[in-house]
């Protein structure tokens, strides 16, 4: 039984499951977690079997019946702030772990992933202290009246199934509000990025979070940990961020015991660039939305619609900007784009690159795998890629690729731009670039997505609702909207 990770920064530590406040060697199999930058082994990970998942869920249920179940909102807020402080105290450890797991540039992770991972706990510590409910005075036949008021109670044990693209940030985005509301969680991080969720177990103990409130079980999806967890009858709610196909499978599992779900799923996001935009801002913002995190961002842009008068200039300027991206060592400050998460994912993205060429796309830049010197030759790097000339019916234009690529097409009218942006089974996010404020409001109201940015991208107030429409998700996260999922409302009627 391991009481600590014992060397997240050392060579090939064994990551154990974190159950009931301890690191335990539950499960008989291990799997490899490899660095996508060079293919090196980062750590061996203990796969949780069904009995380990049973133990984690049981620990969470015990926690709800113990002291954690009697904590006040004020007490939970204090503990959450201690967790945030603990992440920041161990900033360098979290940064190193996140970079080794994902390969993303340290400059990106140090400014977004780790600070936001900590900030999520502070945000929801504030939120729980200001959460309100409804009260109604009603008439009764005897004239005395009655008072109705609602109370919020924790939903119970929450299964948190996490993606690999922003491991700490998106995991804490779910864990923080769940704990703020008084729930206990069982986290299944992606098998690609298991380390920071495991390291957070140590921080939870240091902060004084009671045993069983935060649990981590490692493994895969079907026939493994993910399926054991989402089908478990002791789980009261499931939250998931990831691809739509996986969300569909989890939803089927949730139906067995009629559990609620909160999903943020796939996207094929569009940007709409009008001729009256500030072209410098539009190029800078589109560069980020297409190529940030090697295109592995659910909110990223893979379809770009540009008004015809500026189409050629936009394509040439985006090409020039993409040509300046530097691939390589994530700890080198000059590196601006890391690898894809794995060789398997690179094969998937390259298959779309091949489809684009086969369909007759004009490859503006990229379109393949780069030739890099050692030690990066074995990494999962891929070329930033821009296409033009494909029809809207092409799979490259319609299907989520999740890589550093986009297709750019011209449009001639506002109505055409809106129609083409909405012609998708997904509805997660969009960016509109225009200096015409009236047009911005008009177009934003017509785009069928959960979030629309105007003259920006990835700008988030964490109190606002976040989520997708169509096949991009169910429910909303952020601020009070997160609290709606992690609590149940009960009405109390008092006869006066």
CA distance 178 to 172: 9
Q: Is 128 helix (H, G, I), strand (E, B) or coil?
A: helix
Q: Which of 93, 98, 227, 264 is catalytic?
A: 264
Residue 406 is a catalytic residue: no
Q: Is the peptide bond before 375 cis (omega within 30 degrees of 0)?
A: yes
Structure tokens at 96: 């190193």
Report whether 59 contacts 80 (CB < 8 A): no
Helix residue ranges, H only, 333-409: 343-358, 395-398
| 264 given a catalytic annotation | yes
User: What Cα–Cα distance (Å) separates residue 329 from each residue in 12, 419, 467?
Assistant: 20, 42, 33
* Cα–Cα distance, 62 to 50 (Å, whole number): 18
Q: Which of 162, 298, 405, 406 is catalytic?
A: 298
Q: What is the CA radius of gyration of the chain?
A: 24
Beta bridge partners of 24: 17
Report whether 388 contacts 315 (CB < 8 A): yes
C-beta separation of 292 from 391 below 8 A: no
Q: What angle do CA 220, 225, 231 make, to 5 degrees?
A: 125
Tokens of 486: 């992690």
> Which two structure tokens, joined as six digits, stand for 107?
């400059």
| Burial call 41-79: b when 16+ CB within 10 Å, e when fewer | ebbebbbbbeebbbbbbbbbbbbbeeebbebebeebbeb
**Strand stretches in 255-361, DSSP E:** 261-264, 269-273, 301-307
Joined together, the tokens standing for residue 179 give: 């704990």
Report the relative pairing of strands 22-24 and 30-34 from DSSP bridges: unpaired
Q: Which residue has the tokens 């169910």?
A: 474
| Residues designated catalytic | 264, 298
């Amino acid at each position: 039984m391991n009481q600590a990770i014992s060397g997240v920064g050392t060579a090939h530590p064994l990551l154990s499951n974190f159950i009931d406040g301890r690191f335990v060697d539950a499960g008989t199999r291990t799997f490899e977690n490899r660095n996508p930058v060079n293919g090196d082994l980062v750590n061996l990970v203990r796969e949780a079997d069904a009995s380990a998942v049973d133990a984690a869920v049981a620990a969470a249920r015990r926690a709800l019946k113990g002291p954690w179940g009697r904590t006040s909102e004020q007490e939970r807020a204090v503990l959450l702030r201690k967790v945030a402080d603990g992440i920041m105290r161990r900033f360098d450890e979290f940064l190193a772990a996140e970079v080794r797991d994902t390969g993303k540039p340290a400059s990106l992770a140090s400014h977004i992933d780790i600070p936001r991972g900590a900030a999520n706990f502070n945000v929801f510590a504030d939120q729980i202290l200001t959460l309100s409910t409804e009260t109604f005075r009603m008439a009764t036949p005897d004239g005395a009246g009655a008072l109705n008021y609602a109370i919020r109670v924790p939903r119970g044990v929450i299964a948190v199934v996490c993606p690999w693209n922003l491991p700490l940030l998106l995991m804490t985005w779910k864990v923080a509000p769940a704990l703020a509301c008084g729930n206990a969680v069982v986290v299944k991080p992606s098998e690609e990025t298991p380390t920071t969720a495991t390291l957070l177990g140590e921080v939870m103990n240091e902060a004084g979070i009671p045993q069983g409130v935060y649990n981590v079980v490692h493994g895969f999806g079907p026939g493994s940990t993910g399926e054991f967890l989402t089908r478990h009858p002791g789980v009261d709610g499931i939250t998931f961020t990831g691809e739509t196909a996986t969300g569909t499978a989890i939803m089927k599992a949730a139906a067995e015991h009629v559990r609620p779900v909160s999903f943020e799923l796939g996207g094929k996001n569009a940007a709409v660039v009008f001729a009256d935009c500030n072209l410098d801002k539009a190029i800078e913002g589109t560069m980020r939305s297409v190529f940030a995190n090697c295109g592995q961002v659910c909110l990223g842009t893979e379809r770009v619609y540009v008004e015809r008068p500026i189409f050629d200039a936009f394509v040439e300027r985006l090409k020039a900007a993409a040509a300046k991206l530097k691939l390589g060592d994530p700890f080198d400050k000059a590196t601006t784009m890391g690898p894809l998460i794995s060789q398997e994912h690179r094969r998937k993205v390259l298959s779309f690159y091949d489809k684009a060429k086969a369909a007759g796309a004009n490859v503006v830049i990229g379109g393949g795998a780069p030739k890099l010197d050692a030690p990066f030759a074995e990494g999962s790097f891929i070329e930033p890629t821009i296409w033009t000339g494909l029809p809207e019916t092409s799979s490259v234009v319609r299907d989520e690729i999740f890589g550093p690529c986009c297709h750019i097409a011209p449009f001639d009218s506002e109505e055409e731009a809106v129609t083409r942006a909405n012609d998708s089974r997904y509805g997660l996010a969009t960016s509109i670039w225009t200096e015409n404020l009236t047009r911005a409001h008009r177009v934003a109201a017509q785009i069928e997505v959960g979030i629309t940015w105007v003259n920006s991208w990835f700008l988030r107030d964490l109190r606002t609702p976040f989520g997708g429409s169509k096949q991009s998700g169910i429910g909303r996260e952020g601020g009070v909207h997160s609290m709606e999922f992690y609590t149940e409302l009960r009405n109390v009627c008092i006869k006066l």
